[in-house]
Amino acid sequence: MSSRDFDLNQTRDRLFADPQTPVAAFRFDDRVARVFDDMIERSVPGYRTIVTAIGLLGERLARPHSRCYDLGCSLGAVSLALAQRIQLPGCEIIAVDNAWPMLAQMRRRLAALEPLPTPVRPVCADLADVRIDNASLVVLNFTLQFVPLPQRADLIARIHQGLVPGGVLILSEKIALEDPRQQALFTELHHAFKRAQGYSGLEIARKRAALENVLVPEPLAVHRHRIEQAGFTSVEVWFQYFNFLSLIAIKAPASTGQSHE
Ligand SMILES: Nc1ncnc2c1ncn2[C@@H]1O[C@H](C[S@+](CC[C@H]([NH3+])C(=O)[O-])CC(=O)[O-])[C@@H](O)[C@H]1O
Ligand SMILES: O=C(O)C(=O)Cc1ccccc1
C-alpha cells in the first residue's frame, strides 16, 4: 500500500495537506465523506456543542405526529442527536442531502444503530426539490451557506410554509461581518482555531481557496431579514463562537380566532 492509499483510507482529514495536488472547488465527494467527522469537528468552532444542543432543543420542541427535518444532513450527526433524544408517538426524522457519498455513509451508520427511539428516513435530494410538510422542527446546520444565493429566500419561505404553527427553524451558519476590521479579526480567529486543531497554514490556505464561491457566508442582518420576510415572527441567536453562529426562529402560533380590536 502506498502512503497515498494509506492517507485516503484514514479518517483524519489531510485532504488539503499535499502541496502538489492542484486545488479544485470543494465538493462533498467520497474523499470528503470518509474524513467528514474529523473535518467538521476541527473546522467549525463549537460544532459538537451545537449538535448536542440541537438534540436537547429537539427533545423540547418536537411534537407528536409531526416531522423533524435535517436539511443537508451529511453523515447524520443532527439526525442521530434528535433520534436519540425524541421519544414521541408518530414522530419521524427526514434527513436530506444531495451528495450520494455522504448519504451512503449515513445509511451505513444508521443501520448499525437501529432501532432508534425515533426513526430516521434518509432522502437523497436537492433542497430545491424537497417538500416540507407537517414539520415541528427544521434544522439547517451549516447547510444554507452552500445553497446558491438566489435560492436561499425560497428555501426559507418553503420551510416557513411547511412548519406547523409555533414550529421552529434552527439555522447554523458561518457568517460574514459587515465591518471589514471585524471580518479580518474573525477570519484570523477562525484560522487560529484551525491551527490549534492541528491544521497547517498551507492546509488552511488551500481549503480556503477550494471553498471560495462554494461556501458563501452572509451577514447576520441578511439572515434575520430573510427569516422575517419569510413570515417568522421571532428570531434569536442562541450560540456563537467567532464567525459561526446558530439562530432559532419561531413561526407564529395558531391564531386563537379572537379579535383584539
Ligand atoms: N442544495 C443542496 N441540497 C441538499 N443538500 C445540500 C445542498 N447543498 C449542500 N448540501 C449538503 O449540505 C451539507 C453541508 S455540511 C452540513 C453538516 C451537517 N448538517 C452536520 O450537522 O453534520 C456543512 C459543512 O460541510 O460545513 C453537505 O453534506 C452537502 O452535501
Ligand atoms: O473549513 C472551513 O473553513 C469552514 O468554514 C467549514 C467547513 C467544514 C467542513 C466542510 C466545509 C467547510
pLDDT digits (tens, 9 = 90+) for 29-80: 999 999 999 999 999 999 999 999 999 999 999 999 999 999 999 999 999 9
Is the predicted pLDDT of residue 8 greater than 50, yes or no? no
- The grid coordinates listed for 219 are 451577514
Is the predicted pLDDT of residue 24 greater than 60, yes or no? yes
- Give the residues across from 169 on adjacent strands: 138, 249
Protein residues whose CB sits closer than 6 Å to any atom of ligand 1: 28, 40, 51, 72-74, 77-78, 96-99, 102, 126-127, 141-143, 146-147
- The grid coordinates listed for 106 are 449515513
Model confidence at 259, pLDDT cuts 50, 70, 90, reads low
Binding residues for S-adenosyl-L-methionine: 47, 72-74, 97-98, 126-127, 141, 208
- The grid coordinates listed for 45 are 468552532
Q: Is the CB of 42 under 6 A from ligand 2?
A: no
Mean pLDDT of 106-124: 96
> What does pTM read for this prediction?
0.95
Where are the chain's structural domains? Answer: 47-177+215-250
Separation in Å, CA 160 to CA 17, 46, 97, 254: 41, 26, 19, 13
Model confidence at 22, pLDDT cuts 50, 70, 90, reads confident
Model confidence at 2, pLDDT cuts 50, 70, 90, reads very low
pLDDT exceeding 90 applies to what percent of the chain?
91
Mean pLDDT of 168-183: 98
Nearest CA to ligand 1 atom 6: 72
Q: Is the CB of 176 under 6 A from ligand 2?
A: no
Mean pLDDT of 234-250: 98
Q: Is the CB of 243 under 6 A from ligand 2?
A: no
pLDDT tens, residue by residue, 150-167: 999 999 999 999 999 999
- Fold entry, domain 47-177+215-250: Rossmann fold (3.40.50)
Cα of 186 vs centre of ligand 2, distance in Å, is 14
Going 194 to 198 to 204 to 207, the CA torsion angle's sign is negative
DSSP assignments along the chain, one per residue: --HHHHHHHSSS--TT--TTSPP------HHHHHHHHHHHHHHSTTHHHHHHHHHHHHHHH--TT-EEEEES-TTTHHHHHHHHH---TT-EEEEEES-HHHHHHHHHHHHHHPSPSS-EEEEE--GGG----SEEEEEEES-GGGS-HHHHHHHHHHHHHHEEEEEEEEEEEEB--SSHHHHHHHHHHHHHHHHHTT--HHHHHHHHHHHTTTS--B-HHHHHHHHHHTT-SEEEEEEEETTEEEEEEEPPPPP-S----
Average pLDDT score over the chain? 94
pLDDT exceeding 70 applies to what percent of the chain?
94
pLDDT of residue 7: 38
Model confidence at 258, pLDDT cuts 50, 70, 90, reads low
Query: Are 161 and 169 within 8 A, CB to CB?
Result: no
CA dihedral 187, 193, 102, 59 (to 10 degrees): -100
Q: Is the CB of 39 under 6 A from ligand 2?
A: yes
pLDDT of residue 5: 37
pLDDT of residue 16: 94
Amino acid, res. 240: Q
